[in-house]
Amino acid sequence: MVANIYDPDKRKLLSSLSHGSIFLSALVLSIGIPLVILLVSDDPVIKENAREAINFHINVWFYGFLFGILCWVLLGFPLLGLLFLAHWILPVLAIRRCFQDPDNPYNYPFIFHVL
């Protein structure tokens, strides 16, 4: 049996912090937290969760910009509403999953991966 050399409490905390950083309003701080965690941590699960959180941030910004432009032709308003809901619900689900299963990274649905 292989022993887990990584601390599960540290995994829960840092992975949840990566996903929860999107709730901070400062643009640099919200993406800076998972970026620092990605660069500092040596745990592969924490690194994967930080990458996924950064990708989610980039997707939210991209879709927000795109749907904001579409608001000029009145197509973007319902899409912005959906993005707003996804912006608040998906990170909460990711945090919950990190606490329930700290050994597996969470993957957001419907996003493209930059990192």
Instruction: Note the pLDDT of residue 70.
Output: 79
In the chain, how many domains are there? 1
Residue partners of 18: CB distance under 8 A and separation at least 6: 33, 34, 37, 38, 46, 49, 50, 52, 53
Out of 12-16, 39-43, 107-111, pick the least confident: 107-111
| Residue 105 belongs to some domain of the structure | no
Instruction: Note the pLDDT of residue 2.
Output: 42
| Residue 2 belongs to some domain of the structure | no
| Residue 54 belongs to some domain of the structure | yes
pLDDT digits (tens, 9 = 90+) for 80-106: 888 888 888 989 999 999 999 888 888
| Residue 3 belongs to some domain of the structure | no
Report d(CA 73, CA 115) in Å as an integer.
32
| Residue 25 belongs to some domain of the structure | yes
Confidence of residue 4 (pLDDT cuts 50, 70, 90): low
Report d(CA 12, CA 100) in Å as an integer.
9
pLDDT exceeds cutoff 50 at 113? yes
Residues in the chain: 115
Answer whether 58's CB lies under 8 Å from 34's CB.
no
| Residue 112 belongs to some domain of the structure | no
DSSP 39-98: HH---HHHHHHHHHHHHHHHHHHHHHHHHHHHGGGTSHHHHHHHHHHHHHHHHHHHHHHH
| Residue 115 belongs to some domain of the structure | no
| Residue 45 belongs to some domain of the structure | yes
Residues spanned by the domain of 90: 8-100
